[in-house]
Amino acid sequence: MVEAVRKSLRDSAGARWAAMTVVAFTMLCGYFVADVASPLKPLIEQQLHWNSAEYGLYTSAYGWFNVFLGMLVIGGIILDKKGPRFAGVLAMMLMLGGAALNWYAMTPAVDGDQELLGTRLPVVLAAVGYAFFGVGLELCGITATKVIAKWFKGYEMALAMGLNVAIARIGTGLALGTSGLMAGAATVSTPVLVGVFLLGAGLVAFLVYCGMDRKLAASEPDTKGKAGDDDAFRISDIGRILANRGFWYIAILCALFYSAVFPFLKYATDLMVQKYHVSSYWAGWIPALLPFGTILLTPIFGRIYDKKGKGATIMIIGSALIMLVHVMLTIPALDHWVIAVAAMIVLGIGFSLVPSAMWPSVPKLIPEKQLGTAYALIFFVQNLIALMGTPFLVGWVLDRYCITGRETISETVDGVVQKTELVHYDYTTPMMIFVGFGLLAILFAFLLKAEDKRKDYGLEKPIQKKAETTA
């Protein structure tokens, strides 16, 4: 009787997919806010008078607390100790509070002439808000990943993780495609405010999941009884994770791969304006092709991994595509907007391949009781290199080496003539940096495949077991 009740949830396809959909929606809301400022760089420079270094400081702030205070690792331990309900609600509250401070910093209520720690006050406040938001989103990400690993173990795990990523990237696509239009119609802070309201909806959605998780726990009353000391997470488990060479290959591959994508998206809209001569109000739609393209492809590639395997090979192909696209974008003579569109489409394919295989591969290397901490450690490396170090590096390089000219434009607003300085950049050097990350990602993908062959983790084998496909 107990067994029949147990199967009504975890083994119910409807329950599994409902749980995935709810947590994926929370990720969609978070991804919208994460990229809401990406299309706004030219407008932020015009309306708020930030320079590229200040914008780079702001975007790099996402990883400040996660890296320097170790909040991401602490979050992973909290997830493994307290469970997804507590961790998820905490994550949503951090995101909501951080996004609200981010919005406030971009409004006229903050005096742009004041300084704090040698930096203008609005930049500092926006950065601190983004840093708190970053803690929340990363904790939300590892929570969602562990939730899916829990609900889909032995089932369509790679497909579910692929769909989770795909739904989340709808948020990125919406941010890239609509932020410039909203800012043009109102103010530069308006898209951020929309993101705050979205996060409120995401919090409500996760509270719905908490109810589902309680029902799952109730349907498995024997879980706690079976869980002995060997099943409980210990701090010493961190050492076991760090001693796993395959774990490190995945962590470094993750950081390198995302260094070639996420920081690029922060500057892609400005690249469209500077190199491909697209209007700043519409330029965000070209990078938006990337996340929208992944919506269909990531689940497809995940399903291939479920049924056919070849996870390490998929990661190699995806890394190679990323590098080739950045090579194409680096060549100065290829400056027609059609080239940019084609590059974004191919980049979307590469961006779909690697995550569709990478995230479902971690449970093949790491025991379930350690998954939250393992994902947190991977995200820590990602934050350090991809989300904090690289955006700041690119902003610094642009201001130091890539300015090709300045232009002052005048416009009349409510009868008052306002002058704005436009800065022109050559993006060749930053794009070469992204090419380097892509090349290194290929190297570590090959190292991961060799380690899998040596240790037989099963990365090249299917995830979904044949006996359970008909369950």
| Confidence band for 376, pLDDT divided at 50, 70 and 90 | confident
Q: Average pLDDT for residues 389-415, to the nearest whole number?
A: 80
Q: Output the pLDDT for position 468.
A: 43
Chain-centroid distance of CA 94 in Å reads: 16
Total domains in the fold of the chain: 1
Q: Residue 76: pLDDT above 70?
A: yes
Q: Is the pLDDT of residue 339 over 60?
A: yes
DSSP 8-state symbol, 407: E
Domain span at residue 324 reads 2-216+263-460
Q: Is residue 309 part of a domain?
A: yes
Give CA angle at 163 (7, 296), nearest 5°: 140
pLDDT at 405: 82
469: pLDDT strictly greater than 60 = no
Distance of alpha carbon 143 from alpha carbon 115, whole angstroms? 37
β-bridge mates for residue 409, sequence order? 420
Q: Is residue 112 part of a domain?
A: yes
User: What are the pLDDT digits (tens) for 1-30?
Assistant: 444 444 648 778 888 999 999 999 999 999
Distance CA 471, CA 77 (A): 33
With a pLDDT cut of 70, the percent of the chain lying above it is 91
3-state secondary structure 228-258: CHHHCCCCCHHHHHHCCHHHHHHHHHHHHHH
Mean of per-residue pLDDT scores for the chain: 86
Position 466 scores a pLDDT of 53
Residues 6+ apart with CB under 8 A from 390: 259, 262, 263, 433, 437
pLDDT digits (tens, 9 = 90+) for 412-439: 655 666 666 778 888 899 999 999 999 9
For residues 172 and 90, which has the higher predicted lDDT (pLDDT)?
Answer: 90
In a domain, 243, yes or no: no
* Whole-number pLDDT of residue 358: 92
Q: CA 421 from chain center: how many Å? A: 32
CATH number of residue 319's parent domain: 1.20.1250.20
Rounded to the nearest 10 degrees, how much is the dihedral formed by the CA atoms of 252, 257, 263, 265? -160
Residue 409 has pLDDT above 90, yes or no: no
Question: Token pair of 471, please?
Answer: 């369950």
Could you report the per-residue pLDDT of 32-64, keeping only the tens digit for each?
999 898 888 888 888 888 888 888 889 889 888
pLDDT, mean of residues 241-269: 91
In a domain, 341, yes or no: yes
The type of residue at 111 is D
Domain-located, residue 252? no
Mean pLDDT computed over 382-394: 85
What letter would DSSP give residue 384? I
- Band the pLDDT of 471: cuts 50, 70, 90: very low
Q: How far apart are CA 66 and CA 228, in angstroms?
A: 31
Stretch 352-361: mean pLDDT:
90
Confidence of residue 96 (pLDDT cuts 50, 70, 90): very high
CB 172 within 8 A of CB 44: no
Q: Give me the pLDDT at residue 224, please.
A: 47
Residue 233's pLDDT band, with cuts at 50, 70 and 90, is low
End-to-end CA distance of the chain: 18
What is the model's pLDDT at position 418? 66
Over range 401-421, report the average pLDDT. Answer: 71
Q: Are 157 and 376 in contact (CB under 8 A)?
A: no
Measure the CA angle with vertex 47, ends 42 and 52; round to 5°: 45
Structural domain contains residue 60? yes
- % residues pLDDT > 90 (the chain): 40
**pLDDT score recorded for residue 162:** 86
User: What token pair was written down for 152?
Assistant: 């889909």
Q: Is the model's pLDDT at 207 over the cut of 60? A: yes
Residue 37 within a domain: yes
Sign of CA dihedral 289, 295, 297, 298: positive
Note whether residue 274 is domain-resident.
yes
Query: Looking at per-residue confidence, does 235 or 466 come out higher?
Result: 235
Q: Give tens-digit pLDDT for 256-311.
A: 999 999 889 888 888 898 888 888 777 878 887 877 777 788 889 988 998 899 99
Mean pLDDT of 103-124: 84
Instruction: Give the distance between the most distant pair of CA atoms in the chain.
Output: 78
Q: What is the pLDDT of residue 226?
A: 45
E strand segments, 91-241: 115-116, 119-120
43 in Cβ contact with 283 (< 8 Å): no
The per-residue pLDDT for 434 is 94
